[in-house]
Amino acid sequence: MSEAGFRKVANKKDLKEGGLLGIELDGNRIVLAMVGGKVYAMDAVCSHQGGPLDQGELEGNNLTCPWHHAVFDVRNGNVSETTVWAMDQKSFPVKVDESIGDILVNTSRATTAGAAATTS
């Protein structure tokens, strides 16, 4: 697990299913979310007025900002069409080393939802 740009930020044991974890990497505040055993990473500073998304509510793939309740899809940072006062968040590629549970994030390859229509 030494692919360029990926850095260890946490371990799977720090996160539980349906849980959130705030971390910092390269000056970015990032929220990790675990849904269906998969880990996602998204900008933790709400695009509306900077609310702390790592303190929001996660329901399925939807993360609700604690300040004015904008809703984002943790899989891609996409803001819900019903909460258009916020904009799409950056999301970051994640790798998990399943042998030891380490979670690695790459901040150099951030995408926003509009640009990340498909993933392989």
Give 89 or 106: the residue with its C-beta nearer to ligand FES. Answer: 89
Kindly provide the residue ranges of all beta strands, DSSP E only, lying in 36-73, ordered along the sequence: 38-43, 57-59, 62-64, 71-73
Q: Is 68 in the site for ligand FES (CB under 6 A)?
A: yes
Backbone angles phi, psi at 33, to 5 degrees: -135, 140
Q: Is 57 in the site for ligand FES (CB under 6 A)?
A: no
Q: Is 35 in the site for ligand FES (CB under 6 A)?
A: no
Site string for ligand FES, 71-90 (x = CB under 6 A): ---------------x----
